[in-house]
Structure 1
Amino acid sequence: MIFGVRYVTTATSMKRKKHHTEKSRIIGLLVVSFLRSRLLHRTLIIAISASLLLLFALFSLFAPSPVNEINLQTQNNDQVRSRFEVPAGGGRCRRDLWSSIHSRLFYGCSNAGVNFAKANVKTNPDRYLLIATSGGLNQQRTGIVDAVVAAYLLNATLVVPELDHTSFWKDTSNFSELFDTDWFITFLRNDVRIVKELPDMGGNFVAPYTVRVPRKCTPKCYEDRVLPVLVRKRAVRLTKFDYRLANMLDEDLQRLRCRVNYHALRFTDSIQGMGKLLVERMKMKGKHFIALHLRFEPDMLAFSGCYYGGGEKEKKELGEIRKRWKNLHASNPEKVRRHGRCPLTPEEVGLMLRALGFGSEVNLYVASGEIYGGQETLAPLKALFPNFHSKETIATKEELAPFVSFSSRMAALDFIVCEESDVFVTNNNGNMAKILAGRRRYLGHKATIRPNAKKLNMLFMNRNNRTWEEFASRVRTFQVGFMGEPNELRPGSGEFTENPSACICQNSGGGGISYPQNHNNITEFEEQQEWYDVVDNKLNANGTKIDSLPLLMNTDQLAEVQEFFSD
């Protein structure tokens, strides 16, 4: 039994060993198969990797290096920049740069209408109006013009206006030292009775009663605010008389403004004589000349909040000046420039003129005050227009001696040269620029160039990315509507000093004159006026600006700002 059992066990064991051996063989075959497959894959991977390395090596051999690409890009940029080469000549232009083809169709007309009451009929002998002007020469000129109209509205005798001796300009000149008083009185004798000083009334001196009317006061405003006081007191003195009469008046009153501004206000013989001498000397230098009224004083730049790339030095210097106006909002130079509220630099003015077609041979007369940066700032303009002149360079110190200590008299000399120039250019829209633009329209639409700053500023900032031809073409396009043509401004638009439409008549048979195609420039120009005319008709009763300008000032601060922008 035992052996039988042992036998059976041995046989079973042998069967198990055989089964285990077969199983091991199968596993071995699987392992060998796996290893062979893995070896094949490794070989394939190695082959693919080697091929990729070979391709990469070939690509690296023939492809340009990144350094070469950078150098190539730099060369391309340099080529673009090198193409912005300002030519010495003005090139060929489609229009006459020195005159308007339409100017012969228009003429100044300011005669009184048949129903306009004369002074000897309407003046009340017991009413005297005294005026104290404010600001620089041209701001005061505007006040004098409006004073005559105010006297007419009040049926009063006008006492020759007092000039401002205490403002920023610190000029002690009186009316008779700037203007021909006798001519002023005589020319306007049919419109308003004018006397040199307040007379005794009934043997007694009457002290004038002081009144200040709001800005842009209408005829009804004068009737309500001033006339009752004038009737009671007999003599009224209106102080700070600048922009104190509405811009829009009826045609007869607007024409009275023109008679005062363009005919009655004549500089003294000494100023006229020196001014004409300067004009003659400019005309002797060539057939034509340009007069540029350049405003680039530190005060103006500081107030504007503009930045001109002068680094920390500029920011610090102008920032210190800007602190004078404590309530000015923090400036955003990029936004201000984008909105066209930054005066063009001297270089930018020069580039604009060259793009418009004026060559380096042109004689340029520059009327300016202190230029921020001095000769360094002026150098690019002088390089573009080497025939660079001013009253100081074409007159001797001895000739200028009677005028040099008086800012208004010096400004009057510049005014005469700018008025008589073949082309008048400005980089701003201050009072002198406005008055001269209106005067040149009235006297025959003489060429007057105002920069379309809103468009030009962005073009100047990116000029090195364009060729000169592209740049010049865009300048000419942007300046349509800003060249002093008769059809640029709609009647009644803008300030009357600049657009005296009621005093400009059209010759019969002249035909209609259409507005320029990009008539949107008219709107753009009117928007730009707001920046320079910081005390215009958008003032509330407290004297605070309520439009988009970054101002929040009291009356004294407004007066100080006004002085900087007045001429």
Structure 2
Amino acid sequence: MGVAKAWRFSLISANLALLQPQNSGNGYVVSSKNALSRSASSQRKATFSWSMLCGVMLFALGLISLFTGHIASDLEWYSQHLVNRRLYSKLDGARHRTINIWESKLSKNYYGCSKRSPRFAPAVSERSSNGYLLIATSGGLNQQRTGITDAVAVARILNATLVVPELDHHSYWKDDSDFVNIFDVGRFISSLSKDVTIVKRVPDKVMRAMEKPPYTMRVPRKSEPEYYLDQVLPILLRRHVVQLTKFDYRLSNMLDEELQRLRCRANYHALKFVKPIDDLGHKLVKRMRKMAKRYIAIHLRFEPDMLAFSGCYYGGGEKERRELGEIRKRWETLPDVSEEEARKSGKCPLTPYEVGLMLRALGFQNDSYIYVASGEIYGGEETLRPLRELFPNFYTKEMLANAELKPFLPYSSRLAAIDYIVCNESNVFVTNNNGNMAKILAGERRYSGHKRTIRPNAKRLSALFMERNKMDWDTFARKVKSCQRGFMGEPDDLKRGKEFHEFPDSCICEKPFTEKIKEDEGSNHHELQWINSQGVLEKRNFVESITSSQY
């Protein structure tokens, strides 16, 4: 019983006592007017004295009730709120909690869900399909991965038979690896057999029957399904074989939920690396885990061509401006950019040193183990030195594998696949630039349980780095943490651009409310803190606190 209830109870009890009818032992006094007056006067005195006594007694009881009932009601409130306090904090105001830098506490409320619906019709057979769809992907490994994933969905939209996609042999990476050298073709075909019919090649008899070579076309980026139905399907029906070139990000981010889930089945279940790549990748993971129970993987994009493309300046003086300027001439259509404006707008990748500063400011200690996945670093070891000093436990695939890496060295895509595995298995994944690998990995890590994934808020961090010499470390660290809210891989992260491969929302489901409660009830060691009678701060299990005589 709270303060207000106790107060009301004492007043009501006193008023009820005043309203009680009084008697004289033989009934009501009604014999005469005077007698009635005297009787009424004496009754009022009796009533007044007894009423006051009853009121005081009841008020005292109310005060006792106040102290005992108020404590009881408080304990009841705590029992209702603390038992599920973690759950309520997740559902309300989660953005204002202290960030756990190693893992997301909300991740257990979500799970990957890409199972096909019973309403999703079975794949059409090769004989019944509208023709054969050839796909020529573009870019590096992870850019090509987006094309492969989208190709599966496009084949479904067109009711076409998909031919195993062709990888890009002519990009900057100059890797002549084929699909079969990187991905498990048998798994790719069988895993998606209920959704799309996939073959390794167009049958010879079909090719011989064709009067002309396969029709080749390039579709606009992020095309809607209607575009494929209106522009590609008529050609496919007429020519039987169509090839789509430069196929990367050629399908809209916004599709029917069943098609989105098909994308996820293709990306996260059907595309698995071949055994030699998979085995070596997981060996490196085990070696990292042997040294530390948890590690950070950093994907550094700091190659000369990428820096030149960005148009940013990184502090290397005229030598840097001259070298990167020459490389930038490769792209004739690139506009002139202001170095300062590019940095202020967040278009400049973080330097290795800036990545290290960000991590230390977030709270990662210098004894943390890091795995660095990168290609050629502009400036080499001199560029990496400040990061090594911030995190001495610094490892790369070259340091961990030695001779085992030799068969893969001529192939950049196979090396990238090894890095992909080690980064995906890490406790924390960090990138200095939101490129293709960063997006694809972020999407898979969300799908796999929202594993901690940190992408720099480059626009705000760039301004902060330029001012870091004007503030002490504590102020800098506090501002970095503020900048990074919404960029830490939480389920409620800011979704700028809404790239499906980075934010596969259609494939991430929230657990039922009752299931969350059961999980929270399974952890019943909730603690309360208070100052005891000796002035010492104590922590107790919630059950102990409500049964303790000292409370």
Q: Name the TM-score class by shorter chain.
A: 0.7 to 0.9
Is the 8 Å Cα contact of residues 487 and 494 (structure 2) preserved in structure 1? no
1:338 to 344, 351, 361: 344
**1:294/1:510 Cα in 2 relative to 1: closer, same or farther (>3 Å)?**
farther
In structure 2, the CA distance between the partners of 1:346 and 1:284, relative to structure 1 (3 Å rule), is same
CA distance in 1, matches of 2:420, 2:283: 13
Q: CA deviation at 1:313?
A: 1.6
2:416 match: 411
Separation of aligned partners in 2, 1:395 and 1:483: 30
2:149 is matched with: 145
- The correspondence of residues 121-270 of structure 1 with structure 2, limited to 5 A, is 124-125=128-129, 127-201=131-205, 204-206=208-210, 207-270=213-276
Cα distance in structure 1, aligned partners of 2:305 and 2:194 = 43
CA distance in structure 1 between the partners assigned to 2:411 and 2:429 by the alignment: 24
Which secondary structure state, in structure 1, belongs to the residue aligned with residue 246 of structure 2? Answer: coil
SS across alignment from 1:296: coil
- Choose the corresponding residue for 1:435, options 409, 415, 440: 440
- 2:117 equivalent in structure 1: 113
Shift of residue 321 of structure 1?
Answer: 1.5
TM superposition shift of 1:123: 7.3
1:377 pairs with 2:361? no
Rate the CA distance shift 1:431–1:322 in 2: closer, same or farther, 3 A.
same
Structure 2 partner of 1:292: 298
Q: After the TM superposition, which of the residue ranges 279-288 and 481-490 deviates more from structure 2?
A: 481-490
> How far apart, CA to CA, are the structure 2 residues paired with 1:128 and 1:154?
10
Distance apart, 1:94 and its partner CA:
4.1
Note the C-alpha offset of 1:343: 0.6
DSSP-derived class of the 1:204 partner: helix
Equivalent AA in structure 2 for residue 199 of structure 1: P
Alpha-carbon separation, structure 1, partners of 2:503 and 2:364: 26
| Equivalent residue number for residue 480 of structure 2 | 475
8 A contact 2:130–2:158 mirrored in 1: no
One-letter amino acid of the structure 2 residue matched with residue 475 of structure 1: V
- 1:159·1:197 contact (CA, 8 Å) conserved in 2? yes
| 1:367 corresponding residue in structure 2 | 373
Relative contact order, higher structure (CA 8 A, sep 6+): 1
Counterpart AA for 2:439: K
Deviations 1:169-199 (A, max 9, x none): 1111111110000000000000000111101
Tell me what 2:321 maps to: 315
Partners of 2:351 and 2:197 in 1: how far apart? Answer: 46
Q: 1:507 maps to which residue?
A: 511
- Which residue does 2:469 correspond to in 1? 464
Q: Equivalent of 1:391, from 389, 392, 397?
A: 397
- How far apart are the structure 2 equivalents of 1:323 and 1:125? 46
Give 1 or 2 for the bigger CA radius of gyration: 1
- Are the equivalent residues in 2 in contact too, given 1:106–1:506 (CA < 8 A)? yes
Q: 1:474 to 1:285 in 2, by over 3 A?
A: same
In the aligned structure 2, how far is the partner of 1:160 from the partner of 1:329?
Answer: 37
* Aligned-pair CA distance for 1:200: 3.1
Q: Retained in 1: the 8 A contact 2:161–2:196?
A: yes
CA shift digits 1:233-277 (9 cap, x unpaired): 111111111111111111111000000000000000111000000
Assess if the C-alpha contact under 8 Å between 2:130 and 2:159 holds in 1. no
Rounded to whole Å, the distance in 2 between the matches of 1:510 and 1:335 is: 50
Give distance in 2, aligned partners of 1:120 and 1:318: 51
CA–CA distance in structure 1, aligned partners of residues 127 and 172 of structure 2: 36
For residues 108 and 122 of structure 1, do their structure 2 counterparts lie closer, same or farther at Cα, with a shift above 3 Å needed? farther
Distance 1:403 1:202 in 2: 36
CA separation in 1, counterparts of 2:450 and 2:390?
27
CA-CA distance at 1:132 after TM superposition:
0.9
Q: CA deviation at 1:208?
A: 2.0
Letter in 1 for 2:461: L
> Is 1:351 the equivalent of 2:351?
no
- TM-score w.r.t. structure 1 length? 0.72
* 2:408 aligned counterpart, secondary structure: coil
Q: 1:488 aligns with which of 490, 493, 504?
A: 493
Asked if 2 retains the 8 angstrom alpha-carbon contact of 1:122 and 1:155, the reply is no
TM-score, structure 2 as length reference: 0.74
Structure 1 residues 16-70: Cα deviation after superposition (integer angstroms, max 9, x where no partner): xxxxxxxxxxxxxxxxxxxxxxxxxxxxxxxxxxxxxxxxxxxxxxxxxxxxxxx
Q: How many residues align?
A: 418
Could you tell me the percent identity over the aligned residues?
Answer: 61
Query: CA shift at 1:477, angstroms?
Result: 0.8
For 2:269 and 2:207, the matched residues in 1 are separated by 35
Inter-partner Cα distance in structure 2 for 1:324 and 1:132: 23
Separation in structure 2 between the aligned mates of residue 301 and residue 213 of structure 1, nearest angstrom? 29
Alignment-mate amino acid for residue 506 of structure 1: E
